[in-house]
């Protein structure tokens, strides 16, 4: 199995300058690999640093030290210390992030939100629209909503729009931050199917799933984050 992402001795600290300079050591010495078609689930209590790890892998949080290498355009690319434009290229081509929260942009329609990752890769608009419509139907977003901006949608609808967006293109690495949280049975199954298809297609998946049933369906392996906890606040 080809290694797609390699994390080595990753540390993440937060220094809260506005709060007496308190230093939080949230991630300490994290090392793991994920291969093609494999799904690794992060396990741990709330506050154990699961979301922090995901955000650090995505370049959203700045690691204190360590290494994150991903297979990007046929070579292992070091994310730690990379330039913004390089991280953006990794996010466009290689690493997808699906959370339960949609960042709504005023006036941008549901269909456009979903199509965006494909357009960013240079897909033709009609091909992107076709795929976006398929995903929205599959995730049971009523067609009458597709041309509206999702700002007024319910929380569950926004979450499903965001999932459609996340699965719009195929990613060598997918970060899944509770994609099934608070979904009804039918939609939860759709998301699990999408995850299964991504695995089949060879994506390396790293996920957080609080829902035990979902976790057991998708996980090939677990990473225990609780070991972190003792070292959390210095």
Partner 1 sequence: MAALPSIMETTATVPDQPLLSVENISRLFGPEKGCQGVSFDLYPGEVLGIVGESGSGKSTLLSVLSGRSQPQDGVITYRGQQGEIIDLYSSSEAERRTLLRTEWGFVEQNPRDGLRMGVSAGANIGERLMAQGVRNYGVLRQEALDWLQHVEIDANRIDDLPRTFSGGMQQRLQIARNLVSSPRLVFMDEPTGGLDVSVQARLLDLLRRLVRELDLAVVIVTHDLAVARLLADRLMVMRRSRVVESGLTDQILDDPQHPYTQLLVSSVLQP
Nearer to partner 1, 1 or 76 (CB): 76
Nearer to partner 1, 106 or 142 (CB): 106
Q: Are 69 and 78 in contact (CB under 8 A)?
A: yes
The span from the CA of 79 to the CA of 198, in Å, is 23
Nearer to partner 1, 14 or 222 (CB): 14
Strands 173-177 and 221-224: unpaired
Nearest distance, CB of residue 134 and partner 1, angstroms: 22
Which tokens belong to 107? 């006036």
Nearer to partner 1, 65 or 73 (CB): 73
Nearest distance, CB of residue 57 and partner 1, angstroms: 12
Nearest distance, CB of residue 18 and partner 1, angstroms: 5
Among 24, 80, 87, 145, binds partner 1 (CB under 8 A): 87
Instruction: Please tell me whether residue 11 binds partner 1 under the rule CB under 8 A.
Output: no
- The piece of 1-9, 31-39, 83-91, 190-198 that touches partner 1 (CB under 8 A) is 83-91
Nearest distance, CB of residue 108 and partner 1, angstroms: 6
Q: Are 187 and 160 in contact (CB under 8 A)?
A: yes
Give the neighbor-by-neighbor strand order of the sheet with 221-224. 95-98, 173-177, 204-208, 39-43, 221-224
Nearer to partner 1, 15 or 147 (CB): 15
Could you tell me how many residues make up the chain?
Answer: 234
In DSSP terms, which residues pair with 35 in a beta bridge?
3
Q: Are 171 and 95 in contact (CB under 8 A)?
A: yes
Instruction: Please tell me whether residue 25 binds partner 1 under the rule CB under 8 A.
Output: no
Instruction: Please tell me whether residue 16 binds partner 1 under the rule CB under 8 A.
Output: yes
User: What residues from 51 to 80 belong to the interface with partner 1 (CB under 8 A)?
Assistant: 55, 59-62, 73
Number of residues that bind partner 1 (CB under 8 A): 27
DSSP calls for 9-64: EEEEEEEETTTTTEEEEEEEEEEEEEETT-EEEEE--TTSSHHHHHHHHTTSS--S
The residues that touch partner 1, with contacts defined as CB under 8 A, are: 14-18, 55, 59-62, 73, 84-89, 92-93, 105-108, 119-122
């Amino acid at each position: 199995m080809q290694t797609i992402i390699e994390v080595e001795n990753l540390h993440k600290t937060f220094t809260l300058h506005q709060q007496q300079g308190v230093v939080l050591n949230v991630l300490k010495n994290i090392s793991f690999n994920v291969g093609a078609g494999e799904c690794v689930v992060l396990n741990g209590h709330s506050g154990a640093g699961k979301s922090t790890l995901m955000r650090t892998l995505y370049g959203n949080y700045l690691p204190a030290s360590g290494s994150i290498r991903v297979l990007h355009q046929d070579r292992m690319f070091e994310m730690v210390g990379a330039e913004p434009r390089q991280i953006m290229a990794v996010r466009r081509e290689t690493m997808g992030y699906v959370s339960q929260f949609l960042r709504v942009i005023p006036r941008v329609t549901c269909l456009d939100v979903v199509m965006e990752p494909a357009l960013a890769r240079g897909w033709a608009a009609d091909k992107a629209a076709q795929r976006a419509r398929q995903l929205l139907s599959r995730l049971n977003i009523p067609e009458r909503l597709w041309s509206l901006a999702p700002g007024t949608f319910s929380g569950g609808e926004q979450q499903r729009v965001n999932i459609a967006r996340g699965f719009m293109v195929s990613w060598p690495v997918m970060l899944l931050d509770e994609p099934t949280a608070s979904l009804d049975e039918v939609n939860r199954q759709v998301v699990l199917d999408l995850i299964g298809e991504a695995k089949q297609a060879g994506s390396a998946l790293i996920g957080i799933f609080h829902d035990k049933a979902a976790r057991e369906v998708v996980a090939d392996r677990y990473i225990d984050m609780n070991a972190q906890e003792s070292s959390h606040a210095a």
